[in-house]
Structure 1
Amino acid sequence: MKILVSTRQMMLLEALASESRVRMIELLDKRPMNVKELANALGFSSAVVTKHVQKLEDAGIIRTESLTGTRGRQKVCHLRLDSITLQFRAPAAPPVPNRYTTSIPIGQYSDYRIMPTCGLASRSKIIGMIDDPRYFADPERMKASLLWFGSGYVEYRIPNYLLSNQRTRSVSISLELCSEAPGFNENWPSDIHFHLNEVFIGHWTCPGDFGRNRGVHTPDWWEYGTQHGLLKSIQLQPEGTFIDGVRMSDVSIRDVPIRYGEDIRLRLSVPETAKNCGGLSLFGRHFGNYDQDIEVAITYEDS
């Protein structure tokens, strides 16, 4: 047992600051003894020994048990600890990992290939025409606060600010999303796939397309079904990939090539071949239940 010498450990330190109690520890090192045996060995009364025993027990140095003896109950004392290491200097705090964050608007995708149903909306209007994939190239897409498609993918570029001598330790991605059904259908599963730098890191099955309750931040003019999604947090770590803390795959940060001078590519997709090809709705600021875009946090260390 290792303890830091501090005022929080006064009970233990005071328990050892007595020659009588140290002699009791020496006796108990040989064998367990009851209070009367300790009193006889030390030349004290049982009442005095009982007080010392209480001090040692409160400090966690010994333990006692009540057993039936020839003349009623007796308290038998046992050493509880084998050793204590006193530490006078507090250990240095672990270094805080280097970290940077970035926020990516959902309309700032760098590539896409999608199939209807599909569309884009800003906080004030529909962008282009609904169910026409050509409008995913419209310059106004940069203002999008909601996008949706039936199958396919959108891909984003995460800025890579690492220097050549630095290595990524983890990537965390937070985003609000759900399935995409015509209108809405809260029982509409969709297998949403996640890729990082073309490495498939796992998929999550969204249970539905949520439209029964209005989104907290969904604008009043929006009357087209889907109202909000679920906020999901994806963490790519040395131990694997997790979604909301639950293992999604065994793919670790070491399995994803993140190179100096190259952006990190995040792809969100619903393949036509997926068991549950239920589309994707992605929410940004001013839409849904969470007023955020795609939030990314990257930790790193010097290599």
Structure 2
Amino acid sequence: MQIEVSTKNMAFLECFSSETRVKMIELLGQEPLNIKQLSQKLDISSAIVTKHIQKLEQAGIVTSENTTGIRGTQKICHLKIDQAVLQFKPKKQVDLPTNTVAIPIGQYTSFEVKPTCGLASPTQLIGVLDDPRYFADPGHVHAGILWFASGFVEYRIPNFLHSNQKLRTLEISFEICSEAPGFNENWPSDISFYINDIPLGNWTSPGDFGSQRGVLSPDWWSSSNTQHGLLKVITVSPTGSYLDGTKISDTTIQDLSVAFGKDIQFRIASLESSPNCGGITLFGKSFGNYAQDIIVSMHEDK
């Protein structure tokens, strides 16, 4: 996520003015902890821990859930975000019309995958594990998580531009990580992105995350499975293609040849020819740490 350094984000920025809160973030980055455990590790009272946790929750850095323990209810704290980028120079505010659409991860229009692979809805597995044929099962539209060791999935982005409008910026966000058997935090995967078969660039996922349970993981989803990914944002603009604000290629919005009346094809791939072919796991709004599907925003010139 990107945070603009300004007074409107003081609730977030103030979290780092306290050494105690920074230590809490360090501890929760290793594993979820309850209030008592944090109190013991930091050698401070539970009341003080609770106040700090409330501030971290308000800033969106930490999330908590109440669970039933041996001695009653306990509050389990999880780190909600994996990274944040501070933006010191504010973006120019341009008043452009925007079309935004959410595409469920199961509504891909084309695929080619190899095991390990599979799909699951919020309530159950879809088909049989490690059998690519089930990616064609009509039930794939209900998938809340999908994974494959190599190959691709492709989505059709509806193009609502009018004939007199011109696309200036395309932004796509999604939760993603590598795909290892079970999970493996150190499992790099080179993941490639395409629009209308034109390469946007690559990103190397550091691992397949499972040591901390996903905030949105359904109760039936085993703790031995992949739990969450990283939220990534691709932006294609007149100056190039960017991932989380870092340029990944010189492919511009003009290169995509987005035309009136034609949908946009978005492909996510793990190529066997890449140095780190570590697969892909995609998360929808009912799995992982972020309650969203693939979110596409189209900003137009006036």
One fold, TM greater than 0.5? Answer: yes
Match of 1:138 in 2: 137
Q: How does 1:202-217 map to 2 (within 5 A)?
A: 202-217=201-216
Provide the C-alpha distance between the structure 1 equivalents of 2:185 and 2:104, rounded to a whole number of angstroms. Answer: 26
Aligned length in residues = 210
Match of 1:261 in 2: 261
Match of 1:239 in 2: 239
Q: Give 3-state SS (helix, strand or coil) of 2:111's partner.
A: strand
Structure 2, unmatched stretches of 5+, are 1-91
Check if 1:159 corresponds to 2:182. Answer: no
CA deviations over 1:88-116 (Å, ceiling 9, x no partner) = xxxxx986111110000000000000101
Aligned-residue offset at 1:206:
0.2
Aligned-residue offset at 1:218:
0.7
RMSD value over aligned CA atoms? 1.2
The list of structure 1 runs, each at least 4 consecutive aligned residues, that deviate by more than 4 angstroms after superposition, is none
CA deviations over 1:175-203 (Å, ceiling 9, x no partner) = 00000000100000000000001100101
Match of 1:103 in 2: 102
Provide the C-alpha distance between the structure 2 equivalents of 1:97 and 1:155, rounded to a whole number of angstroms. Answer: 28
Aligned-residue offset at 1:225:
1.6
Provide the C-alpha distance between the structure 2 equivalents of 1:136 and 1:105, rounded to a whole number of angstroms. Answer: 14
Do the aligned partners of residues 95 and 174 (structure 1) sit closer, same or farther apart at CA in structure 2, a change above 3 Å counting?
A: closer
* Overall identity of the aligned pairs, in %: 54
Provide the C-alpha distance between the structure 2 equivalents of 1:263 and 1:276, rounded to a whole number of angstroms. Answer: 31
Match of 1:33 in 2: none
Provide the C-alpha distance between the structure 2 equivalents of 1:282 and 1:115, rounded to a whole number of angstroms. Answer: 15
Q: Give 3-state SS (helix, strand or coil) of 2:287's partner.
A: coil
Q: Which amino acid aligns with 1:232?
A: K
Provide the C-alpha distance between the structure 2 equivalents of 1:165 and 1:269, rounded to a whole number of angstroms. Answer: 33
CA deviations over 1:132-160 (Å, ceiling 9, x no partner) = 00000111111100000000000000000
CA deviations over 1:244-282 (Å, ceiling 9, x no partner) = 111111111111111111100000000110110000000
Do the aligned partners of residues 122 and 256 (structure 1) sit closer, same or farther apart at CA in structure 2, a change above 3 Å counting?
A: same
Provide the C-alpha distance between the structure 1 equivalents of 2:165 and 2:132, rounded to a whole number of angstroms. Answer: 40
Provide the C-alpha distance between the structure 2 equivalents of 1:228 and 1:255, rounded to a whole number of angstroms. Answer: 33
Q: Which amino acid aligns with 1:169?
A: R
Q: Which amino acid aligns with 1:160?
A: N
Match of 1:189 in 2: 188
Check if 1:279 corresponds to 2:273. Answer: no
CA deviations over 1:63-92 (Å, ceiling 9, x no partner) = xxxxxxxxxxxxxxxxxxxxxxxxxxxxxx
Do the aligned partners of residues 207 and 95 (structure 1) sit closer, same or farther apart at CA in structure 2, a change above 3 Å counting?
A: closer
Match of 2:74 in 1: none
TM-score, with structure 2 as normaliser: 0.68
Match of 1:42 in 2: none
Provide the C-alpha distance between the structure 2 equivalents of 1:232 and 1:251, rounded to a whole number of angstroms. Answer: 18
Aligned-residue offset at 1:239:
1.1
